[in-house]
Structure 1
Amino acid sequence: MHHGFARIALRDLRALRGSLSVTSVLSVDRSQLPAEIATLTDGYAFEQITLGRSGNAVYRLSAPGRPTLFLKAGAGEQRAALADEAARLRWLAGRLPAPELVAEVERGGGVFLLMTAVPGVDCSDRSHAADVPAMVRLLAEGLRLIHAAPLDDCPFDHTPRAELERARRRLELGLVDAGAFDADPAEVFEELLRLEPREPDIVLTHGDYCLPNVLIDGGRLSGFCDLGRLGAGDRYRDLALAARSLAYNWGAEHVPLLFEAYGLPQPDQRRLEFFRLLDEFC
């Protein structure tokens, strides 16, 4: 195994690093918003989220006495990603604690998603420093909750074979960030094929189970966000990213507790490596 193949790319560091960063309150020109979005957000103050890997414009919306909302907007390549997230939020409604899709509007080649906010602070927030093990146990609880959810009618295929096909297409189209690797991406893809799980353990997966996407409120798990990659997949798809994100944000010494609390004290290192490597092709 060529352990030096994959580096954590800058885009991943942004995803793994701490809490949401926001600018000052913005004065938004509502004439630039679709009419439905402008009406639904009338009276709200907009704060732009400046941390993340999606490439979308993301805003937190707040108003006295009204529920906090999030607005995401994107065009071009990001249009499909937002459509994916909207589809998953519609399917997920009532199944798991997640944002509720308030509106999805297309205009001028772009897409606008307005959704409710999950309460609490994310698992990378420094407020957890006083009791990191408690946060880690809640992180594991979230994994168990998602993985136990029924997926009989889940239309989103993120099984290893489907993910490898997506990776192959991105590689052929030149969409893979070569800077994420210490070797030619084509060589890394061959390594992926060698590591592919032969008997995948398919459950419902989040797809981007990094600490900023898991929320805690009042010492309890409150829900999940950024669900555009949710679907049926191998449970290690989430375990690998959760362990990597935990190590980056709070230190590798906490990773064994994550697996122990999840109920997998001796994880399959080969599968972890496969899904860490596969994520670099996404």
Structure 2
Amino acid sequence: MSRVLAAAPSDPVAVPERVRVLAGDDDVTPVWRNELGGLTFRLSAGPGGERPGAERYVKWVPAGTPELDLDAEAERLAWAGRYTPVPHVLDRGTDGAGAWLLTEGIPGRSAVDPRWLAHPGTAARAIGAGLRAMHDALPVDDCPFSWGVADRVSRLSPAARARVGDVPAVDRLVVCHGDPCAPNTLLDDDGRWTAHVDLDALGVADRWADLAVASYSLEWNYGDGHEPAFFEGYGIAPDAGRIAFYRRLWDLG
């Protein structure tokens, strides 16, 4: 999987017609956009609405964007939701313009919410603790999805395969998040993790596939110096060799 950059939109966003239909009378707010064209909108009812205070979220991707597989994410959310806090799927589908995934709101703010950008050490520790809780909760033997290193390496070009290097021995197989970057952990107001989002790549792999990338993303979002808090939150010492391998694989994928 390649690294996909995302951010809250800073310029006006055209709301797709399907999103307007799903919203009904709810307010529609764009909250996230990635470089492949995928958008996330918050649907919120006001005090006079049928669902006062309730929030839903809809992901929408334009037609012909195979890198963003919302069906895959819906399947993984349904499975993971039996064991760990993740969004509940309300609807999914496709039309000529694109694909959508509608989920219930879930408590917490993204770890890159301005509240946590101002307190990166707390956020980094919570991201580590949340990832450890997910790895411990999801049952490897029952997981129908794989994020295995052999498959990921096999999809590289010959040149990239040579650059990524030898695959390290497995430390511990877990059900990995698959995109464990900082924005995909939610935190409560006390700085504790509450849930995970964006699970379209979830699958069984060595835990260092997640650990290497989650710690990598701290620099992108918070700047240098926060990896110790992350590894403390997870409860493990950094493994420099495995970290280097899985970061190269992420960058080259």
Q: Deviations over 1:85-124 (max 9, x none)?
A: 1111121223211111100122237322111223322112
Distance 1:50 1:130, change over 3 A: closer
Distance 1:80 1:260, change over 3 A: closer
> Which of 141, 148, 153 does residue 159 from structure 1 map onto?
148
- 1:100 maps onto 2:88 in alignment: yes
> Which residue of structure 2 lines up, in the alignment, with residue 187 of structure 1?
159
- AA aligned to 2:153 is L
CA contact (8 A) 1:24 1:47 kept: no
Task: Give the alignment of 1:266-277 within 5 angstroms.
Answer: 267-277=238-248
Task: Give the alignment of 1:128-207 within 5 angstroms.
Answer: 128=116, 131-149=119-137, 150-165=139-154, 167-168=155-156, 171=157, 186-192=158-164, 194-207=165-178
Identity %: 32
Distance 1:188 1:109, change over 3 A: same
Q: Give how far 1:227 is off.
A: 0.9
Q: Give how far 1:270 is off.
A: 1.6
> Which residue of structure 2 lines up, in the alignment, with residue 280 of structure 1?
251
Which structure features the higher share of helix residues? 1
Gaps of 5+ in 1: 1-8, 172-185
Relative to the length of structure 2, the TM-score reads 0.84
Q: CA RMSD in A?
A: 2.6
> Which residue of structure 2 lines up, in the alignment, with residue 179 of structure 1?
none
- 1:224 maps onto 2:213 in alignment: no
Q: In 2, distance between residues paired with 1:50 and 1:101? A: 18
CA contact (8 A) 2:170 2:206 kept: no
> Which of 241, 248, 253 does residue 213 from structure 2 map onto?
241
Q: In 1, distance between residues paired with 2:229 and 2:13? A: 39
Distance 1:67 1:78, change over 3 A: farther
Q: Give how far 1:143 is off.
A: 1.0
The count of aligned residue pairs is 244
Relative to the length of structure 1, the TM-score reads 0.76
Distance 1:79 1:263, change over 3 A: closer
Distance 1:22 1:61, change over 3 A: farther
Q: In 1, distance between residues paired with 2:197 and 2:243? A: 23
Q: Deviations over 1:184-236 (max 9, x none)?
A: xx4332132x3312335210111111111111122121211111111111111
- AA aligned to 2:186 is L
Q: Deviations over 1:1-31 (max 9, x none)?
A: xxxxxxxx9x65x34xxx63465687x57xx
> Which residue of structure 1 lines up, in the alignment, with residue 186 of structure 2?
215
- AA aligned to 2:151 is A
Distance 1:117 1:108, change over 3 A: same
Q: Give how far 1:264 is off.
A: 1.4
